[in-house]
Structure formats: C-alpha cells, structure tokens
Chains A and B, each alone.
Chain A
Amino acid sequence: MKDQHLVTIEVNGREHELLLDARRTLADTLREDLGLTGTHLGCEHGICGACTVLLDDQPVRSCLVFGVQADGHQVRTVESLADGDQLSDLQQAFSDHHGLQCGFCTPGFLMLAEAYLETEPEGGPQEVREVLSANLCRCTGYQGIVEAVTVVAADRREKAAVTQRAGDA
C-alpha cells in the first residue's frame, strides 16, 4: 500500500510542491525533502519538543503532524528566524545567556519561545518556566533558556510600548 499525495506547503515564506507518502511526518518532510535539518527529532512521541515548528503560527510537534496535513498551510522553522547574518533578538539572547550547550534541543526551544513571545505575554519567570516545560533540554538545567526568553519578552514589551507611545504622539 503506497498512498501518495501531491501537496503545496509554504515553508518559511516559500511555496514547495512535494509528492509525499501519506505517512511521512511533517518533521521528515522538512528534514529530508526540504533539507531543513534544523528541526530535530528527539523522541517522535511528542514529549521532547525538539521538532517544534509553527504551523499557521501555532506551535506544534512536527513529529505528530503528517506532511500531507500541511497541504495548503504555512510552516515556519528555526531557519526562518535569522535575517541573513543577523540573528533575531531571541537567538541572540540564547547566545548571550548560555541558553544552549549541545544545541540539539535549541531549534525546538526557539520555535516554542517565538510562538509564545508572539502572543505578547506578560513573560514573568514563573510563566516562562511553565511554557518552556513543554520541551526537554538535557544539558543546561534550563536557567539560561528561561533567562533568555524572559529578557526578550521584556525587551519586546518595552519596544512595543515605545512604538505605541510614538504612535500616540
């Protein structure tokens, strides 16, 4: 039994037409068909979160979504975050706060945090820890990751407030 589907997926702003086996996971589609190997597979049962990507701006485990399900949808992966050589504020904060060691879980944490930050959260350390509990890291003890996300949440709130004031004025 080989059930194949011709699908169109927008990944990181670019449309891709792909012929996919029904059972191919979105993670494997990204990694093997599109060469976007930043999305990692750490457990393939939805616990570790290393494969987290944004599907229509919502964070999902790409090991629990089939590639064919993304037909007609938008996907964002870790490769979308930097602007050329310029790291995003979040990526830079991970670097500044030693939020990674081996780096394997990092793309999943970045995408989880990016989704969270886009909800314009309060971003206190307690809430950040709760959100980040969705993913597993074995190297850092999480402290650097929590700090990085907390700082970016505050920075973005500050920037938004400045923009708001400028708009009001």
Chain B
Amino acid sequence: MKPAPFEYYRAYAPAEVVELLTGLGDEAKVLAGGQSLVPMMNFRLAHPAALVDINAIAELDYVRREGDSLRIGALTRHRTLELSRAPEVQDGFSLLPRAARWIGHYPIRSRGTVGGSIAHADPAAEWCLLARLYDADVVVLGGQGTRVVPSADWFTGFLSTVAATNDVVTEVRFNRPRAFGALTEYARRRGDFAIAAAAVAFDVVDGRCRDVSIVLGAVAGEPLRVTEAEALVEGAEPAAPTWAAAARIAAAAIRPNADTYGGERYRRHLVDTLIQRAFAEAFASDASVSAASGIR
C-alpha cells in the first residue's frame, strides 16, 4: 500500500498555494494534515499528480475572536481547539473544544486541521457539523481573490464542495455564538467515524429556547440541518419533552438508504437517541463544563 508518484511543492504563503494550484491544474491537491487524503493515496483510491503542502504556512494557524465571529485559521490543528480554554472560544463557542475530542484519536488530532476537514467535506466530520451548526462562513482564496462562502452553500454532496480546483480554504468563521451546545455521536469503537452524529446549539431566554440549530452527521451526503425540528424547539421550554419531540421530527426527516449500516429503522432510532442526548447534555452543561470525558 504505497502511494502512486506525485510532485511535491511546499508553499509558504496562501497566495503561493493558489499560484501553484493554478499552474499545476486539475490533478493537484492541497496537503494539510493528510489524515484523510494520505490513506486514500496509500490505498491508491486517490492519485493526485501533485501535492501542495500548506503545513509551512504558519500564518494560517490561529484562533481569533472578532465580535460574534470566531475565526479559525485553516491550518489550526484539531488539538489546538481541543485544548483551548481561551475566553474568546469559551464565550459562546465552548462546544468547539468539547466537540473536538470526538475527532479520531490523539495522533489524528495532533496532525489533522480544521481547514482540511472542511475542505474534505466528510458528512461524518465534526467540523462540518459544527460549521453548519454555527452558520460558519468558509473563507477561500482562489484565482479571483478571497471569497466568503456561507457553509449552507459550501457542501454539495458526499466529499464535495463548491471549491474550485485552485481554491484553498484559509479560514473558517464560526458565527452565532450560543450559550448551550453539544455534539454527540455513536460509533462502534472509540474514535471511529460516527455511524450517526448530532449537534445542537441554542440560547435560553426567559425560560424559552431561542436561536436553535440542529445538525445531523453521517446520515446524508452532507451535514444536515433539521429546520423542522429547530422550529419546534424555538420558543419551547428547555425540557425533556421538547427534546423528545424534536428528536422524533429529526428521525423522521432523514432519508437513510436501506443498505446503510443497520438499515433505515436503526438509523432513525439512533438519530432520535442522539438528538435527545445532545440537547440534554447541552442544557446540563453550563456551557463551559465538559460533559464528555476526555483529555485535557
């Protein structure tokens, strides 16, 4: 299991990435953490003719707060977020460090990047769920300069996005901070890709849920916002019956294939469970305390 030949280029600035990609054409790919791309290359399921390595672009490794927006540089490793206790993250985005713990394992989180995950667009990937949950914008540098793509428009199906072949993701901007949030998943083994995942975020104002987002992962080609369920929770009491009603709606909303793992019935049950648990965990947490066990 060795990769096919390719040309290697190391870029030192975002503009250089675009320049290289433009020159190299369709068969070139950006190499960030490599935790998804390189296994595919080793299996020879991916045969890029050239790789543009962005790991030396230190300027893309940052976490910054600007108003309601949390800006994460594309080269920021999962582990950086996992370990972050900074107020700019904790205030309204405290879910991010907790959610990052679900990503693979420690060595995967040490190497894998936020931007790489968003660009790879795996429907089970935590960052992809979180992007939809927090109405993130994906900042892309391409031949025509910088564009800001709402995450709602970013994903176009399984492992595919609107990015052009010479685009590089430079930043992910998480918007809409909320006091309560949780992400939960089910996989057979610790650290595996989720069979199903659910993430929720909301505020509670005057005893009512406000500004509710619900996203499901691994149940469709891309992370799925469940707006019908969001509408149900909006304005409702933050309590178990609300979560259960939302979960029922979400479970009915998915369209699992009969041949996916465990079949349609199992997937719906799992979604129902995970949404209820995500809400319960979010509301039980005071938005800064972790409910999941994990590594500090």
Contacts and interface: CB of A to CB of B under 8 A. Distances in A.
Q: Does B associate with A?
A: yes
Interface of A: 1-3, 5, 21-23, 25, 28, 44-46, 49, 52, 55, 58-61, 63-66, 68-69, 71, 112, 115-116, 121-122, 126-127, 130-131, 133-134
A119 B54 CA distance: 26
Contacts of A21: 5
Nearest to B38: A64
B3 A23 contact: yes
B107 A49 contact: yes
A52 B106 CA distance: 11
Interface residue tally of chain B, by bracket?
35 or more
A3 B50 CA distance: 10
User: Helix, strand, loop or mixed for chain A's interface?
Assistant: mixed
A109 B3 CA distance: 25
B110 A58 contact: yes
Going nearest first, the 9 A-B pairs with the smallest beta carbon separation are A134-B105, A22-B8, A45-B39, A133-B190, A59-B107, A58-B110, A44-B1, A64-B38, A3-B7
A130 B295 contact: yes
Interface string B187-218: 00111000000000000000000000000000
Contact of A61 (B10, B107, B190): B107
Interface in B120-176: none
Contacts of A23: 2-6
Contacts of A122: 296
Contacts of B104: 134
B42 A130 contact: no
Contacts of B294: 127, 130
Nearest to B33: A64
A117 B269 CA distance: 39
B43 interface: yes
A137 to B, nearest CB: 14
Given A46-B38, A69-B53, A130-B293, A22 B106 contact: no
B6 A134 contact: no
Contacts of A115: 106-107, 110
